[in-house]
Structure 1
Amino acid sequence: MTLDPISLRTAFGSYMTGVTVVTAMSPDSVPVGFTANSFTSVSLDPPLLLVCPAKRLSSYDLFHTCTRFAVNILADDQAAISTLFASRTEDRFGQVNWAQDAWGSPLIEGATAQFSCRVHNRVEAGDHDILIGEVLDFDSNDKPGLGYASGGYFSRSLEHKAQTGVATEMEKRFVGGIISYGDQLLLTPTETGLRLPHFRVPARTSALDTLTHALDGTGIEIGAVYSIYTDTKADRSYTFYRGTAPSVEVANLGRFLPLGSVPQALTGPMAERTIIERYILESQNQQFGLYVGDDEYGDLHPVHPVQKGS
């Protein structure tokens, strides 16, 4: 049986991992590195870890022959560094702060953990090498690590904000869904017109648990957090998740409208229209960001694809 490599890659990518940048110094003292989520702790005695550089890497020959390397586990505010080292950009080290360890390998500043290694073993395995390193020294801190799954980054600290809510008054928290079926989105009728489906979050309850309970029995699959914002005029906080419906029949939640007509149909807060306008743009290439802020100002945390061992 022949396996479809694209489908296989997608299946592999469903496993949630951290993100690392693996680095080494060339014989002529040029730093090199690549982004990888193929990182595993192997042993405590002796202290061993492994990474898997791809044979297609421009720096593959160096990692295939090096005797020293380092692994930098990126913090959740270092997605841009992950993207940089997954690209073919020249002089990548000129765009980050770094220093050499005692053996000359580059360590990226701000990482949540750093491991200085010497090569313990190297095994060729298909289109990758399995590079096993003995840990000579390490450093770590309590910064949350950058996560990766299904083609995008996620942040533990941002996920925590989404589940606990951003408002201080528990009774003013709401959770909602941007629920799609094909190229249609679900809208719910309210006293003031059509709005995105949303529900009040009870005290001592997480936003995600509330949404899961509200959608129980509909077959709707809840996806990633899409927007966390405070409505400053109403003094309420909203957390919206993306979701997919199995059909247009979803109990009494509302009705589906073509994606392009949703912004004009919405009659709720302007923030909801802004959310959908951004969703329309991002759905064109299936790369979604995460907005954290209020109904006027905030930060959009981009989600960039990153390839294993690239």
Structure 2
Amino acid sequence: MAAIDPRALRDAFGAFLTGVTVVTTHDTAGQPVGFTANSFTSVSLDPPLLLVCLARSSRNFEALTKAQGFAINILSETQKDVSNTFARPVEDRFATVDWKRGPHGAPVFSEVAAWFDCSTETIVDGGDHVILIGKVEAFENGKSNGLGYARGSYFTPSLAQKAVSAAGSEATVIAGAVAARDGEVLLVEKEAGVYALPSCELVSGDGPERLQKYLSEATHLPASIGFIYSVYEDTTASKQHIVYRCQLGPGEPATGRFFAVDALPLTTIADAATVDILRRYAAESVLGNFGMYVGNERSGRVHPVAGKVQP
């Protein structure tokens, strides 16, 4: 059996859409500790059990495995900053959030989608991780939408729905792709020496799977569709554009050409709106903090809805 590349496996696991949580407890000195995690799931209603996976290499390993309990804080759509804070080695993470001791004692946060204060039921060996199974002693449902995460980026369900609704007009709908691979973006020749994003027209009932099929057939490369990157109306042409961030697999493309993100041929791009999209993508990809543009070809707003969680 061929050896499995851990990085490739991690990327494949990342295709699964999850929520984002902060796991908290107190260390042996009574100080609050916590970390960002998306490896959380419910286990049972009777008894009420949940689990979260903890890396053996985590700086919080000893505190979590020796504690009598822990809390799961499911972050809301507005709490990307909290996720980033607890994913990085910040000096005093808890100084940046409003928190209190839960009924069972672990730190619980304000304004989260939900929190669960648990006693530690059991700890199960899981290779380079352990599985913490907790019994829910108390919980609170905050009713707000949770923050989403997949393929290394955040997404917010309500904003994605807002963008799709903005595209629901009588105009022709064009689905485009910022199709990236290893720091490069695929562009197609619209005419000799003039480049554009790969795109296709959507008809009633079509979704992003139509764009994925087009990309795969046109390039002969594996293609995966990510999150919406730009939704804008071309008022002069009566066309509505929905642009997705996409990933292409290995191989030589049958159509189009890859350009390095820091060397995009912006002077040869077919239209100004695409130039703006590519400039923004090049700037945002430096830090991995992506946004979503909603507007028209002249003006609109970039909503900061995505970024990378550091391991």
Q: Same fold (TM over 0.5)?
A: yes
Q: Distance in 1 between matches of 2:94 and 2:75?
A: 15
User: Where in structure 2 are the equivalents of 1:176-215 lying within 5 Å?
Assistant: 176-180=176-180, 183=184, 185-189=186-190, 194-202=195-203, 204-212=204-212, 214-215=214-215
User: How does 1:210-289 map onto structure 2 within 5 Å?
Assistant: 210-212=210-212, 214-215=214-215, 217-218=217-218, 219=220, 221-231=223-233, 234=236, 237-243=240-246, 244=248, 247-250=252-255, 255-256=256-257, 258-259=259-260, 260-268=263-271, 270-282=272-284, 287=288, 289=290
Distance 1:22 1:233, change over 3 A: same
Retained in 2: the 8 A contact 1:23–1:71? yes
Conserved? CA contact 2:178–2:185, under 8 Å: no
TM-superposed deviation, 1:240 = 0.8
Q: Percent identity?
A: 32
Greater RCO, CA 8 A, separation 6+: 1
Note if 1:302 corresponds to 2:303: no
CA displacement 1:22-62 (0-9 Å, x = unmatched): 11134554221111122122222111111222233333222
Paired with 1:6 and 1:184, the residues of 2 have a C-alpha distance of: 21
Cα offset for 1:184?
5.5
Give the C-alpha shift of residue 71 in structure 1.
0.5
Partner residue, 2:131: 130
Tell me what 1:108 maps to: 109
Moved more, 180-189 or 106-115: 180-189
Q: Shift of the alpha carbon at 1:265?
A: 0.6
Q: Are positions 1:10 and 2:11 aligned together?
A: yes
Contact preservation (8 Å) 1:180, 1:186: no
Deviation string for 1:117-140 (max 9, x for gaps)? 111112344433322111112222
2:245 is matched by which residue type in structure 1? Answer: R
Contact kept, 8 Å, 1:226 with 1:289, in 2: the verdict is no
The 8 Å contact of residues 167 and 231 in structure 2, kept in 1 or not, is answered as no
Return 118-127 or 207-216, whichever deviates more. Answer: 207-216
Give the distance between the partners of 2:175 and 2:156, measured in 1 at CA.
19
Do the aligned partners of residues 222 and 38 (structure 1) sit closer, same or farther apart at CA in structure 2, a change above 3 Å counting? closer
| Counterparts of 2:172 and 2:107, CA distance in 1 | 47
Asked if structure 1 preserves the Cα contact closer than 8 Å seen for 2:190 and 2:270, the reply is no
Q: Which runs of 5+ in 1 are unaligned?
A: none
Kept in 2, the 8 Å contact 1:174–1:207? The answer is no
Contact 2:293 2:300 in 1 (8 A): no
5 Å-filtered alignment, 1:46-125, equals 46-125=47-126
CA distance in 1, matches of 2:132, 2:259: 50
Is contact 1:175–1:199 with CA below 8 Å preserved after alignment? yes
Q: TM-score, normalised by structure 2?
A: 0.80
Q: How many residues align?
A: 298
Q: Deviation of residue 176 (structure 1)?
A: 1.1
Tell me if structure 2 keeps the 8 A contact 1:76–1:146. yes
Q: Check 1:52–1:178 CA distance in 2 against 1; reply closer, same or farther (3 A cut).
A: closer
| 1:117–1:135 CA contact under 8 A, matched in 2 | yes
Report Cα offsets for 1:68-112 as digits up to 9, x if no partner: 211111223322211111111011111112222122221112221
1:40 corresponding residue in structure 2: 41
Q: Say whether 1:157 aligns with 2:158.
A: yes
